[in-house]
Amino acid sequence: MPRPAVERQLPDEESRALVELTREIARAELAPLVEDYEASSRYPREQMRLLGASGLLGLPYPEDLGGGGVGYEVYLQVIEELAAVWATVAESVSVHTLACFPLAGFGTPEQRKRWLPDMLGGDLLGAYCLSEPSSGSDAAALRTRAVLDPGSGDYVVNGTKAWITHGGIADFYSLMVRTGGPGPEGISCLLAPADTPGLSAAPPERKLGFSSSPTAQIHLDGARVSSGRLIGAEGQGFKIALAALDGGRLGIAACAVGLAQAALDAAVDYAGVREQFGQPIASFQGVSFMLADMATGIEAGRALYLAAARLRDAGRPFGKQAAMAKLFCTDMAMRVCTDAVQVLGGAGYTKDFPVERWFREAKALQIVEGTNQVQRVVIGRHLSRERG
């Protein structure tokens, strides 16, 4: 029996219809494919196109540039709904939205008019390239170098980007590259199309989870990117990258809450029918307290990411709360998915139930877009800055 839908607070009738549409597509088009696609590491490109045609690949961007014009409060709840059915798809929508941010937030009006409508239109998929093999948490130490060739007016880019979601299948890449000296001030942002000569993807990594989502290194081997594709000014790239991550982290937080919700629902269902010692295991306090803690963590996580989202929608600073939401929600999801495996016992450890997969997927969310240690670093910095 399907569990009742999550009770949502949404601002208007249109956003309720949007969430309804998301649920309908998730139920009818995504749910039947998850197990097969995850087992065979197959990316649901056609289903992403359907989400695109439905307007889900540009939700939080302005309508006049092809976006949906909705706030993060609504966009994130769409992500959460998707994640409760297929985390790979939710993460994919979130990463695509992240990849569009540099142009949407920092491009010139001409650049935005030229490229953004296609990027938000639903047919294209974007990737966000910050990490490198030798710089993950210390992203400002990145080494990929871009040198302007005055003759052609192109940047010539050399280096390797690492762990890139959509690597090899993306249509455009938001690249953070070094155009100046060491440190954050030497970094710039380029928007490179997938067919950039000299840009290529390594074979996808073999991962613990998110198997249907390709993660790959991107090699830049004398890649030529027109200087017209510099987003923002030279040296502004790191600021752009961090601003993008503030929003991206909220996407990851919403993914985590959706994943945890799915795990809770499965655990509650199982605990209600599995009998031991002559009664459903849910009737044992040891199990029901575990379920109660899981449900409480989920509600708290949802409330926290929505509080951060509402700050963002009101145009207020939200970076600290976004880091808190990412930290709290993904740690919570890891705990909830671990406990869900526990509630299902031996069955939970087998691939006959999806909870072991959710458990593996939750782990990634504690690492991506800044590890949870880095989130604490970010929160700590905000605290010292506030003290002055």
Partner 1 sequence: MAEPRRVLVLVKYVPDAAGERSFADADSTTVRTTEGLLSELDEYAVEEALSLAESGGWEVTVATMGPEQAGAAIRKALQMGADAGIHISDEALHGTDALGTSAVLAAAVRKFSDEGGCDLLLCGMASTDAGMSVIPAMLAERLGLPQVSFASQLSVEGDTVRIRRDSETATETIESRLPAVVSVTDQINEPRYPSFKGIMAAKKKPVTTWSLADLGIEPAEVGLAASWSPVTEVSKRPPRGQGTIITDDGEGGVALAEFLAAEKFI
Site string for ligand FAD, 129-168 (x = CB under 6 A): xxx----xx-------------------------xxx---
Number of residues that bind partner 1 (CB under 8 A): 16
Partner residues linked to 159 by β-bridges: 220
* Residue 124 CB partners (closer than 8 Å, separation 6+): 52, 118, 171, 172
Please answer whether residues 176 and 129 qualify as being in contact, where contact means their C-beta atoms are separated by less than 8 angstroms. Answer: yes
Separation between Cα atoms, residue 215 and residue 210, nearest integer Å: 9
Q: Find the binder of partner 1 among 8, 10, 21, 382 (CB under 8 A).
A: 21
Chain centroid to CA 211: how far? 15
Residue type, 148: L
Q: Find the binder of partner 1 among 10, 41, 55, 143 (CB under 8 A).
A: 55
Binding partner selected for residue 2 from ligand FAD, partner 1, none, CB under the kind-specific 5 to 8 Å limit: partner 1
Binding partner selected for residue 370 from partner 1, ligand FAD, none, CB under the kind-specific 5 to 8 Å limit: ligand FAD
When asked if residue 50 is in the footprint of partner 1 (CB under 8 A), the reply is: yes
Q: Find the binder of ligand FAD among 95, 244, 254, 267 (CB under 6 A).
A: 95
When asked if residue 256 is in the footprint of partner 1 (CB under 8 A), the reply is: no
3-state helix, strand, coil in the chain (%, to 5): 55, 15, 30
- Catalytic site residue 369? yes
Separation between Cα atoms, residue 381 and residue 377, nearest integer Å: 6
Separation between Cα atoms, residue 93 and residue 181, nearest integer Å: 34
Place of tokens 């450890």: 349
When asked if residue 18 is in the footprint of partner 1 (CB under 8 A), the reply is: yes
Residue 29 CB neighbour total at 10 angstroms: 18
Rg (CA), the chain: 21
Chain centroid to CA 6: how far? 21
Q: Is 53 helix (H, G, I), strand (E, B) or coil?
A: helix
Comparison of 111 and 144: residue with beta carbon closer to ligand FAD: 144
Stretch that binds partner 1, among 16-24, 107-115, 269-277, 297-305 (CB under 8 A): 16-24
Catalytic residue of the set 73, 81, 91, 369 = 369
Considering only residues 365 to 384 of the shown chain, the ones binding ligand FAD according to CB under 6 A are 367-371, 373-374, 377
Q: Is 354 helix (H, G, I), strand (E, B) or coil?
A: coil
Comparison of 154 and 204: residue with beta carbon closer to ligand FAD: 204
Stretch that binds partner 1, among 39-47, 48-56, 328-336, 338-346 (CB under 8 A): 48-56
Q: Which residues are catalytic?
A: 369
Positions touching ligand FAD (CB under 6 A) are 95, 128-131, 136-137, 163-165, 210, 215, 364, 367-371, 373-374, 377
Positions touching partner 1 (CB under 8 A) are 2, 13-14, 17-18, 21, 24-25, 50, 53-56, 59, 68, 70
